[in-house]
């Protein structure tokens, strides 16, 4: 039995278990994520994140992320911000701009430092994709949502009833319209212009926040005339600031990242 050091972190309540895979490789991350994510019998989290060296020169580090059900995700905005804080504050990098390799491409993390601590991180989430035949079958989509891919698939529905996230989100994740399953957002524009959003994450269910979901919601709001190019997305666990720039068509996400605790867990 091997002891694996881990760090629990969260971004706006979206919590993951982080392991330095450069020192402690995980042989079966799917199995580990299922066991460790259990909130009653394990550490408790929305999934497992492995931080490793990049196999390509275009990036400084790589990220693999596994949902609570063991499925591998392509990208997580909240997790990428946490990785930026982890790398800088744990002394693994002195860079304030870090290139992170994910399954949806290389993301640039811009760290905002105060008193040698990472206060927040801006992530260049690249350009959204609004049509993707492998992830979305438009003719079979339900409701009046907007499909946005941020490297992973999202379906954003504007409604006053955002609390239907549990029942409707569960059904839509598995809908035939989404061959690869889908993250589902329920959003409502508030009087102050912010966008209150609840999310059903593919493979994890209801989560406190979803970075790519916040980006997808902001893009959908701009496309449907409900907001401009800058939005404050208020999720269950906190607020993210999103900008969809006209200059390069990239989406930029800014938000906090926090340490929760460190520990060790047995690994077979």
Which is the CATH superfamily of the domain at 2-125+255-267?
Diaminopimelate Epimerase; Chain A, domain 1 (3.10.310.10)
CATH code for residues 138-249: 3.10.310.10
Which of 131, 10, 134 has the alpha carbon at shortest distance from 76?
10
Active site residue 215: no
pLDDT for 133 = 73
Give residue 129's pLDDT band: very low, low, confident or very high (50, 70, 90): very high
For residues 140 and 138, what is the distance between their CA atoms, to the nearest angstrom? 5
SS3 (DSSP) at 57:
coil
pLDDT for 132 = 78
Provide the residue ranges of all domains of the chain, joining segments of one domain with +.
2-125+255-267, 138-249
Kindly state the average pLDDT of the residues 58-63: 98
**Is residue 259 a contact partner of residue 33, using CB atoms and an 8 Å limit?**
no
> For the chain, how long is the longest CA-to-CA vector?
56
- Name the catalytic one among 12, 76, 82, 182: 76
| Residue 208 predicted with pLDDT over 80 | yes
Does this chain's domain 2-125+255-267 share its CATH topology with 138-249?
yes
Q: What are phi and psi of 37, to 5 degrees?
A: -75, -15
Tens digit of pLDDT for each residue in 216-266?
999 999 999 999 999 999 999 999 999 999 999 999 999 999 999 999 998
For residues 62 and 85, what is the distance between their CA atoms, to the nearest angstrom? 14
pLDDT for 144 = 81
pLDDT for 137 = 75
Dump strand ranges (E) for 68-215.
72-73, 97-102, 105-114, 117-124, 146-149, 153-158, 183-189, 195-201, 205-207
pLDDT for 134 = 79
pLDDT for 140 = 53
| Residue 141 predicted with pLDDT over 80 | no
HEC letters along 84-114: HHHHHHCCCCCCCEEEEEECCEEEEEEEEEE
Active site residue 210: yes
Kindly state the average pLDDT of the residues 199-214: 94
pLDDT for 136 = 79
89 exposed, middle or buried (CB, 10 Å; 0-12, 13-18, 19+)? middle
pLDDT > 90 fraction of the chain, expressed in percent and rounded = 91
For residues 132 and 206, what is the distance between their CA atoms, to the nearest angstrom? 24
- Name the catalytic one among 12, 82, 210, 215: 210
Kindly state the average pLDDT of the residues 124-138: 85
Pairing of strands 195-201, 205-207: antiparallel
């Amino acid at each position: 039995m091997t002891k694996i050091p881990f760090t629990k972190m969260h971004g706006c309540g979206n919590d993951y278990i982080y392991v330095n895979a450069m020192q402690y490789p995980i042989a079966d991350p799917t199995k580990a994520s299922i066991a460790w994510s259990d909130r009653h019998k394990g550490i408790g989290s929305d999934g497992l994140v492995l931080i490793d060296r990049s196999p390509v020169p275009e990036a400084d580090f790589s990220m693999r992320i596994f949902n609570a059900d063991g499925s591998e995700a392509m990208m997580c905005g909240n997790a990428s911000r946490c990785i930026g804080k982890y790398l800088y504050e744990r002394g693994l990098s002195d860079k304030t701009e870090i290139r992170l390799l994910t399954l949806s491409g290389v993301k640039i993390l811009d760290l905002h430092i105060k008193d040698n601590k990472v206060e927040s991180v801006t992530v260049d989430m690249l350009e959204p994709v609004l049509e993707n035949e492998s992830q979305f079958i438009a003719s079979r989509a339900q409701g009046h949502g907007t499909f946005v891919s941020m490297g992973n698939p999202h379906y954003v529905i504007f409604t006053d009833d955002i609390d239907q996230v549990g029942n409707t989100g569960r059904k839509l994740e598995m809908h035939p319209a989404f061959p690869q399953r889908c993250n589902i957002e329920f959003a409502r524009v508030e009087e102050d212009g912010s966008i209150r959003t609840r999310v059903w994450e593919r493979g994890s269910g209801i989560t406190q926040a979803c970075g790519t979901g916040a980006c997808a919601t902001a893009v959908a709001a701009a496309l449907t005339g409900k907001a401009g190019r800058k939005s404050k997305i208020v999720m269950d666990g906190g607020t993210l600031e999103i900008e969809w720039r006209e200059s390069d068509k990239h989406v930029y996400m800014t938000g906090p990242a926090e340490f929760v605790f460190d520990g060790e867990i047995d690994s077979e």
